[in-house]
Amino acid sequence: MPIRPPILQRGDTVGIVTLGSPLNANLINERIGVLRAMGFNIVLGQFVYAQNGFLAGTDEQRASDLMMMFENEQVKMILPTRGGTGVAGILPYLDYNVIRNNPKIVTGYSDITVLLNALHQIVDLITFHSLLLIDFKSETPAYNFDQFFSATSLYSLTRPIQNPPGFPLISRVPGNVTGPLVGGNLTSFVDTLGTPFEIDTRGKILVLEETHEPTNTVYRYLNHLKLAGKLNDCIGIIMGECTGCQAAYGISYEDLIEEFVVPLGKPLITNLATGHGLYKAALPIGAMVNLNSVNNTITVVEPTISV
């Protein structure tokens, strides 16, 4: 049975870390103000404001901040400021036994999904493909906060993952499968192939999303996953948005799904509000999920937090 992190409640302490690319200090402080207004206490990593070129400190520094949050008994949720690049660099420096014995809610998307899936695969901790610190702002759609707090602050035996009104899920290949959910940002996962941290899709439902890549590059990444056996090993596929992805050679993202993903014959639902899009579903990485592309539903079928 997977490890379920303790429930998040108002008044709890949130640990803020920067695990990939740096973020402007004023923006970090502004978003922290929103969290405090929501009733949360804040603990900052030592290197949360750091910048080392295109990284927020060295790999060892960013890893030490993350471990500090797992070791802090007061911290109930670890909230990265952003993704960007470089999260995979911290993975060799983490103490996974400490993490296993001190489970916390870990949330994020973009390059943070490398960490989310590593914690699932190595520790068997349920993590959340959901909000980052940058998303705690007044303009964030209520849907995003509803999804986030439903996943992290409400104990339930089942939870439907639904898009906002007017943003339909689309069933493309019929089927009905249940398995652990893995995945996230396509670029980030391709970068881990051939490493000790490459994504394991065997018997699992794979969700993918991307941002600001032309479709010929998205094809290259999908084909890399296929050649690595990842698309053959999974039992179902959920394709999220490809935010800002431009058509290349007349082939759109929808064309690519129809010509490349549909022929794989796996139960397939597309158009899930994910990651880099305006609307962000909260996806529990490592939890059992039912993908029913006959009824066009995605349902979490186990609790994802402990009480």
Q: CA 235, CA 177: separation in Å to the nearest integer?
A: 7
Q: Are 45 and 81 in contact (CB under 8 A)?
A: no
3-class SS of residue 297: strand
Q: Are 249 and 220 in contact (CB under 8 A)?
A: no
| Summary count for the chain: helices (H), strands (E) | 9, 14
Check 110, 130, 188, 293 and give the catalytic one: 110
Check 21, 120, 276, 293 and give the catalytic one: 276
Residues in the chain: 307
Is residue 209 among the annotated active site residues?
yes
What is the phi/psi pair of residue 98, to 5°? -65, -45
Is residue 130 among the annotated active site residues?
no
| β pairing state of 105-108 and 75-80 | parallel
Q: What is the dihedral of CA 50, 91, 219, 226, to 10 degrees?
A: 180
Segment holding 202, helix H or strand E: none
Check 21, 120, 129, 209 and give the catalytic one: 209
Q: Are 245 and 218 in contact (CB under 8 A)?
A: yes
Is residue 129 among the annotated active site residues?
no
Which residues are part of the catalytic machinery? 110, 209, 276
